[in-house]
Structure 1
Amino acid sequence: MKEGETKPRILMVTRNFPPLTGGMERLMQHTAEGISCYADLTIIGPTGCRAYAPPKSTVHEVPFGLLPFLTIGSMIAARTCLRKNFDLAIGGSGLAAPTLWILKGLFKLRTAVFIHGLDIVVNNFIYQRAFIPAVRAADLLIANSQSTKALAIERGVAERKITVIHPGTTLPELSSLPPDADFCSRHRIQDKRVVLFTGRITRRKGLSQFITRSLPAIVQAHPDTVLLVVGDSPDQSLNRNGETEHVNKALEESGLGKNVLFLGKVGDRELTAAYAAADVQVLPLVEVPGDIEGFGMVAIEAAALGTPTVAFSLGGVTDAISPGNGRLVPEGRYDLFSSAVCELFNDSTITAESCRKHASDFSWKIVSARLKEVLAQTMDD
C-alpha cells in the first residue's frame, strides 16, 4: 500500500464472473465483494458483470470470448493503470495471467493469480507455452486446493509463491429456505429418494458412467430413487466435449430414463431448494487428461444445506469432504459408490447438523479474512 492512503487500490482482471455461471464465477464474485469492503476495487470483467459487481467498485466490461477478452481486456487494463496507480492486480484464473504479466512489466505492479486446477493442466499446447510461464511470473498464486497447489508445483511454480485458500459458501438462515415440499411437489418427486448431480455436464464429472455403472444398483435396492440433474453443457469453458450425447446413450441403454429428471441451468433459489431437498449428492468424477476437478465447491454448498456428498477421490474434492459431510470412494469403484449412496440414505452418523458444521469452516467470512491477510502481505513485500 502506498504511504498516506487509507485504502489499497486493487485491480481485478477476470473472465470468470457473473453473468457467466459456475463455481469459479461465484468464487470471484464473492472475492470482489470481500475486497470491496477494505479496498478501492476496479474490475475488468465480462459483458454484463456490472450488475453483479459490488456497488462501490469501478467496472469495465469486455466481451467474454477468449480472444476479445485477452486483447481488449489487456488494452483496457493498461489504460486503466495509466490513469490510476494500483497497489495490486489480481487475475481470476490462469487466463488472466498474461495480462497481469504485461501490467507487472509496464507498471511494476505486484500481482496475484487465482488458480483452479483446469487452468493449470488444460491440454492445449499454446496455453501451456504462453499462459503457464505468465502464471509462474505472478508474485502470489492462490490455489483452491492442495491438489491444485501440487499441480502448479509440477508445472514449475515456486512453492513459496503458492497459498491454498479454499472457496467458500453462504451459510443460509434455515428459516429463510424455500420449503422442500414446494420444490418436490413442483417437480413431482414427493416421497422419492433424491440423488442430486450438480454441475456442468462435462466428461470429468462422470455423469454418463454413473448412470451406466452405479445408478442401476441404487435403483434396484431403492426403486423409488430419482436422480436429479442440475446443470447443462459447457459453452464458455476451457474444455468442451460430447458428454451430453454419452449421457443420452447411457439413459437409453440402462432403461432408467423414468428415474432421471433434468432441470438444466437454474437460478440460485432453485439450486438452494435442490440442495435442501436431496438425500445425497453425487460427484462421480473420472480421470480425464488435461482436465481436473480443482476443488468440488458443490460439496460445500450442499453441506451448508444439510446434504451429504459421495464422491470419487480425485483432484481437489478430497479437500471438500470429511466424515462429517460425506464419503470418499476409491476411483473407479462403482460398486462401492453405489453402496455408499445407499448407506447414506439411512446413515445416522452423517446428519444435517454435521454437514452444516463442516460447511461453517468454509464460510465466505472466513475465506475473505484469509484472503485479505495474504493480499496485504503481497502488497507489503
Structure 2
Amino acid sequence: MSQSSLKVLYISHSHPPDEAPLENMGGMQRVSMQLVQALVDNSTVEIQTIIQKAPWKGIEWRTLLFLLKLRRQIPQVIDSFKPDVILFSSMVTASMARWLKGKVSVPMVTINHGQDVTMPYGWYQKHVSKVLDALDGVISVSQATRQACIDRGMDPGKGVALPNGIQIQDLLPMDADYMNPAHVEQLLVLEPTEAVEEIKVLKRAAKKELGEHVNINLLDKPVLLSVGRQVPRKGHAWFIEKVLTQLNHPCHYLLVGDGPERETILTAIHRNAEALAERHIHVHILGRKSDYWVHKAYTAADVFMMPNVKVEGDMEGFGIVLLE
C-alpha cells in the first residue's frame, strides 16, 4: 500500500450475516458491501472496517448494542489505524459523530439514504439535526435525500448528492442466458428489427425457465414485475388495488421479495380477487430469490413496475432495483 493512500475507517451496522445473506439483503446492504469491496480493490485506498453482520429480526436491539460498543472501538481503531477520514454507512452509525465531535480530529462523513433522515419521530428528528451539525461531510444518494438534510438544518455546502451505483458485472455473469453487458453490446450494433428479435428470443427463454422454476405458465400473458423489500412505501398493495383492478388486459404480476407488508399484499389480492379474475390478471408472490432468478425475472418481464407511494417519514431515497 502506497504511503500516499487515503486511509478510510468504514463503519456499518447493516451487513447481512454470512450464513443467511439472501434472507437479509436489501438495497442498502448490497450497496454497502459493494462499496467496501470497491475500496478494498482500489490501490489508492487503505480501508479498515467495523461492521455489524446481523439479520433483520432483532436488528434494532443489536444495533443499539453495536453503537454502545463503538464508543470503545472507534477510539481504539483511530489510535492504531490513524485514518484520514471516518465514513459512516448511514445516519444510524453516524449518530456516533455527536459523541466523537471534539474528541477526535479525524473528519467524519456519512452516506444517507432517505428513511434514515426522515423517520417521523420527534426525538429522532432533533437527533438527526444534531448529527448533521456534528458531521464534516454528507453524501446523499439522491437530490431528494440531500434536500431532506437541508430541510433539517444541514449547511448546503456540507452535503453532496451522489447517486447509487452497482457492480453490474457481479450480478450478470457474461455467459449467462439473459440480458447482460455482452448482450447489450451486441444489441447496440444490430439493426433495430434484429435487436427486437434477439430480445424476444431471450425473453421467451427466460419466461419458460422462470415459469418452470415457479410452476407458472408465463408464456400465455404479458409479465409485469416488481422487485424489492415489501414495505408500505414500495406501493405493492396500492398497485394491486388501484391499478391492476383497472386494467383491461390479462397479465401476470410477479412480486419478488419479502417483508412486513406481505400480509397487506395478500389481503389486497383476496379483497380484489373477483375483479382480478374477471380481467384474467394473476398476482404471484414469489418470495426471496437468488440473484440468478431475480435477473431471470428482469429478462422475462415485459414491464418493470416500481409503484412507490408517499409514506410519512419513510421516503424512497434511491431504489437500487431501478439500476438493476
Is TM-score (shorter-chain normalized) higher than 0.5?
A: yes
1:163 shift after superposition: 1.2
Matches within 5 A, 1:233-248: 233-234=259-260, 243-248=261-266
1:195 aligns with 2:224: yes
1:110 aligns with 2:107: yes
Matches within 5 A, 1:192-271: 192-218=221-247, 220-221=248-249, 223=250, 225-234=251-260, 243-255=261-273, 256=276, 259-271=282-294
Residues 189, 299 of structure 1: CA spacing in aligned structure 2 closer, same or farther, 3 A cutoff? farther
TM-score (norm 2): 0.78
Contact 2:39 2:45 in 1 (8 A): yes
1:130 shift after superposition: 2.3
Matches within 5 A, 1:279-290: 279-290=302-313
Corresponding residue pairs, total:
275
1:117 shift after superposition: 1.1
Counterpart-to-counterpart distance in 2, 1:265 and 1:253: 24
Counterpart-to-counterpart distance in 2, 1:92 and 1:75: 19
1:173 shift after superposition: 5.1
TM-score (norm 1): 0.67
Contact 1:93 1:119 in 2 (8 A): yes
Of 29, 47, 53, which aligns to 2:53? 47
Contact 2:15 2:54 in 1 (8 A): no
Q: Choose 1 or 2 for highest CA Rg.
A: 2
Residues 232, 132 of structure 1: CA spacing in aligned structure 2 closer, same or farther, 3 A cutoff? farther
Contact 1:146 1:164 in 2 (8 A): yes
Contact 1:112 1:142 in 2 (8 A): yes
Counterpart-to-counterpart distance in 2, 1:189 and 1:78: 58
Counterpart-to-counterpart distance in 1, 2:61 and 2:12: 10
Which deviates more from structure 2 when the two are superposed, residues 209-218 or residues 103-112?
A: 103-112
Gaps of 5+ in 1: 50-61, 235-242, 302-381
Report the equivalent of 2:181.
none
* Residues 123-179 of structure 1: CA deviation (Å, up to 9, x unaligned): 122322224311232111111111111111101111111111111123335542456
Contact 2:218 2:252 in 1 (8 A): no
Report the equivalent of 2:65.
68
Report the equivalent of 2:11.
13
Residues 277, 74 of structure 1: CA spacing in aligned structure 2 closer, same or farther, 3 A cutoff? farther
Contact 2:141 2:317 in 1 (8 A): yes
1:259 shift after superposition: 0.8
Over the aligned positions, Cα root-mean-square deviation in angstroms equals 2.3
Report the equivalent of 1:92.
89
Report the equivalent of 1:336.
none
Counterpart-to-counterpart distance in 1, 2:323 and 2:107: 31
Residues 39, 48 of structure 1: CA spacing in aligned structure 2 closer, same or farther, 3 A cutoff? farther
Residues 128, 285 of structure 1: CA spacing in aligned structure 2 closer, same or farther, 3 A cutoff? same
Flag the structure with more relative contact order, 1 or 2, with Cα contacts below 8 A and sequence separation at least 6: 2
Counterpart-to-counterpart distance in 2, 1:209 and 1:77: 44
Identity score, percent: 27
Counterpart-to-counterpart distance in 2, 1:271 and 1:78: 41
Contact 1:93 1:115 in 2 (8 A): yes
Gaps of 5+ in 2: 18-23, 179-204
1:75 shift after superposition: 2.3
SS of the residue aligned with 1:35?
helix
SS of the residue aligned with 1:65?
helix
1:94 shift after superposition: 0.4
Contact 1:88 1:110 in 2 (8 A): yes
